[in-house]
């Protein structure tokens, strides 16, 4: 791992250890339904194994467990892995969900061991998303599927720069949100056949969004200023509207599924 990659990993470890108690949110109903449909379409079911990279508190693993499979969760943060173990055991999935602490760039998974790999809400925290997708592709058998669920930004680099600056003000472990074009490129580099991406909207309120971050008072104020600038310019990619804490905006999400030929 490069020096910058080690620094990113340190920030992620610090951030998610500090904020582990916040991660009780459920997957939005629309996204959960679309993901369940994609999982079913991939043929994943009883007897199958999925590896969840950056597994967090276990919410991403649940749809694969509900489909009847087993999940091996990989997470950099012990506090998050412990929370996932407890949560899934309480929901009755403990016997089919195992977790290990390791970076997504070096998961302790042998080649071709899984029927599916997934990574949800992690890619924008990665220094080298291409390397992680490569590991996800390595871990699945031929005919297996690689799932990535995350936010995506516009193709225009200038717009992405503004949005990533805002995200970093709110959460110190944010690195960069990819565009759909960039996601397609890294799937191609991993020699995966990318199925049609499924996109959806993720509306939110500024005050609620900020509660989920770790911004200092100064960064909170700076984030609000940046959002107001977007609104004044017509709303931008996030379609910002409203005032202050009640300000509304909509980020874009994508479910990507690639098949290993």
* Consecutive 10-residue averages of pLDDT for the chain (261 residues): 71 74 80 96 98 93 96 92 92 94 94 98 96 98 98 97 97 95 98 97 97 93 98 97 97 98 94
Beta bridge partners of 100: 74
In a domain, 182, yes or no: yes
In a domain, 230, yes or no: no
Q: Ramachandran region of residue 156, left (φ > 0), alpha (ψ -120 to 50) or beta?
A: beta
Are 119 and 148 in contact by the 8 Å Cβ rule? The answer is yes
pLDDT (0 to 100) of residue 193: 98
167-204, pLDDT tens digit by residue? 999 999 999 999 999 999 999 999 999 999 999 999 99
Q: How far is it, in rounded angstroms, from Cα 57 to Cα 77?
A: 10
In a domain, 162, yes or no: no
- Return the sign of the alpha-carbon dihedral for residues 250, 37, 60, 93: positive
Cβ-based neighbour number of residue 21 at 10 Å: 9
- Residue 96 backbone dihedrals phi, psi, to 5 degrees: -120, 15
Q: How far is it, in rounded angstroms, from Cα 59 to Cα 21?
A: 14
Domain that holds residue 15: 3-154+171-202+252-260
In a domain, 38, yes or no: yes
Q: How far is it, in rounded angstroms, from Cα 150 to Cα 215?
A: 21
pLDDT (0 to 100) of residue 11: 77
Helix or strand or coil: residue 14? helix
Rg of the chain taking only CA atoms, in angstroms: 18
pLDDT (0 to 100) of residue 186: 98
Cβ-based neighbour number of residue 138 at 10 Å: 18
Domains identified in the chain, total number: 1
At a CB cut-off of 8 Å and minimum separation 6, what does 6 contact?
none
In a domain, 64, yes or no: yes
- What are the structure tokens assigned to 168, written together? 């970093």
Cα of 83 vs its chain's centroid, Å:
17
CATH code of residue 146 = 3.40.50.150
Q: How far is it, in rounded angstroms, from Cα 216 to Cα 209?
A: 14
In a domain, 111, yes or no: yes
Q: How far is it, in rounded angstroms, from Cα 111 to Cα 135?
A: 9
- Return the sign of the alpha-carbon dihedral for residues 78, 83, 89, 93: negative
């Amino acid at each position: 791992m490069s020096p910058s990659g080690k620094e990113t990993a340190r920030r992620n470890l610090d951030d998610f250890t500090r904020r582990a108690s916040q991660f009780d949110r459920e997957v939005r109903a629309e996204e959960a339904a679309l993901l369940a449909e994609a999982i079913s379409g991939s043929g994943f079911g009883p007897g199958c194994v999925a590896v969840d990279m950056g597994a967090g508190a276990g919410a991403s693993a649940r749809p694969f467990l509900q489909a009847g499979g087993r999940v091996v969760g990989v997470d950099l943060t012990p506090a998050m892995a412990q929370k996932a173990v407890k949560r899934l055991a309480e929901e009755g999935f403990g016997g089919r969900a195992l977790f290990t602490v390791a970076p997504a760039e070096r998961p302790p998974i042998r080649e071709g061991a899984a029927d599916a790999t997934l990574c949800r809400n992690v890619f924008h925290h990665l220094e080298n998303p291409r390397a992680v997708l490569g590991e996800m592709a390595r871990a699945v058998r031929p005919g297996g599927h690689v799932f990535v669920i995350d936010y995506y930004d516009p193709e225009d680099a200038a717009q992405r720069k503004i949005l990533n600056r805002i995200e970093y003000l709110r959460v110190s472990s944010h690195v960069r949100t990819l565009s759909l074009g960039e996601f397609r490129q890294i799937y191609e580099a991993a020699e995966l056949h990318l199925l049609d991406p499924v996109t959806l909207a993720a509306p939110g309120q500024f005050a609620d969004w900020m509660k989920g971050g770790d911004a200092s008072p100064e960064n909170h104020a700076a984030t609000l200023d940046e959002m107001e600038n977007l609104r004044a310019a017509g709303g931008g990619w996030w379609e910002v509207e409203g005032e202050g804490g009640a300000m509304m905006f909509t980020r874009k999400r994508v479910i990507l599924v690639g098949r290993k030929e």
